[in-house]
A = this chain, B = another copy of it.
Amino acid sequence: MKASELNPHRQPDTPLYMQLYQRYRDAISAGRLRPGERVPSIRTLASELHVARGTVEMAWQMLVSEGYLVTEGAAGTRVSPHMATLPGAAHPGQKPGNTDGLPYQMHQMGNPLPFQPGLPAFDAFPRKIWARLSGQTLRRVEATMMNYPDPAGYAPLREAIATYLGISRGIRCAPEQVFITIGYQGALELLCRTVLRAGDRGWYENPGYFPGREVLQQMGMTLTPVPVDKEGLQVSIGQQMAPDARFAVVTPSHQSPTGVALSLPRRLALLAWANQKDAWIIEDDYDSEFRYHGHPLPALKSLDHEQRVLYTGTFSKVLFPGLRLAYLVVPRALQQTFHEAVNRWPGPGSVLPQAMVAAFMQQGHFARHLRKMRQLYAVRRGYLVEALERMAGSQLHIQPQAGGIQVLALLNQHQCDKTLAAAAQAAGLGIRALSEWDATSHQHNGLLMGFTNFASAPDAQAAVKRLSALWVP
Residue numbers of A with Cβ under 8 A of B are 82, 85-87, 96-97, 99-102, 105, 107-112, 119, 122, 125, 127, 130-131, 134-135, 138-139, 141, 143-150, 152, 155, 176, 181-183, 185-186, 189, 214-215, 218, 316, 320-325, 332-333, 335-337, 339-340, 343-353, 356
13 residue pairs of the A-B complex, CB under 8 angstroms, read A82-B336, A97-B343, A125-B146, A127-B141, A130-B139, A134-B138, A138-B356, A183-B346, A214-B344, A218-B345, A324-B347, A325-B350, A352-B353
CB proximity of A65 to chain B, nearest CB, Å: 15
CB proximity of A81 to chain B, nearest CB, Å: 11
CB proximity of A183 to chain B, nearest CB, Å: 6
Establish whether residues A324 and B101, one from each chain, have CB atoms under 8 Å apart when the complex forms: no
Establish whether residues B337 and A322, one from each chain, have CB atoms under 8 Å apart when the complex forms: no
In the assembled complex, the Cα of A455 lies from the Cα of B337 at a distance in Å of 39
Establish whether residues B111 and A143, one from each chain, have CB atoms under 8 Å apart when the complex forms: yes
CB proximity of A339 to chain B, nearest CB, Å: 6
Establish whether residues B147 and A111, one from each chain, have CB atoms under 8 Å apart when the complex forms: yes
* Neighbour of A146 across the interface among B97, B215, B320, CB < 8 A: B320
Establish whether residues A147 and B112, one from each chain, have CB atoms under 8 Å apart when the complex forms: yes
Establish whether residues B182 and A346, one from each chain, have CB atoms under 8 Å apart when the complex forms: yes
Establish whether residues A322 and B339, one from each chain, have CB atoms under 8 Å apart when the complex forms: no
Establish whether residues B85 and A344, one from each chain, have CB atoms under 8 Å apart when the complex forms: no
In the assembled complex, the Cα of A32 lies from the Cα of B29 at a distance in Å of 68
Establish whether residues B337 and A350, one from each chain, have CB atoms under 8 Å apart when the complex forms: no
* Closest chain B residue, CB of each to CB of A141: B127
| Extra pairs beyond A100-B152, A112-B147 (13, CB < 8 Å) | A109-B147, A110-B147, A127-B141, A138-B356, A146-B320, A148-B321, A149-B322, A182-B182, A182-B347, A186-B346, A215-B344, A325-B350, A352-B352
Chain B residues positioned under 8 Å from A149 (CB to CB): 109, 321-322, 324
In the assembled complex, the Cα of A96 lies from the Cα of B339 at a distance in Å of 10
Establish whether residues A109 and B150, one from each chain, have CB atoms under 8 Å apart when the complex forms: yes
In the assembled complex, the Cα of A127 lies from the Cα of B146 at a distance in Å of 11
Establish whether residues B345 and A189, one from each chain, have CB atoms under 8 Å apart when the complex forms: yes
Ranked nearest first, the 10 interchain pairs of A and B with the lowest CB-CB distance are A349-B349, A107-B148, A134-B138, A350-B353, A182-B346, A131-B139, A146-B320, A186-B346, A111-B143, A185-B346
Chain B residues positioned under 8 Å from A215 (CB to CB): 344-346
CB proximity of A346 to chain B, nearest CB, Å: 4
* Closest chain B residue, CB of each to CB of A357: B350
In the assembled complex, the Cα of A353 lies from the Cα of B214 at a distance in Å of 28
In the assembled complex, the Cα of A323 lies from the Cα of B321 at a distance in Å of 19
Chain B residues positioned under 8 Å from A148 (CB to CB): 107-109, 316, 321-322
Chain B residues positioned under 8 Å from A349 (CB to CB): 182, 324, 348-350, 353
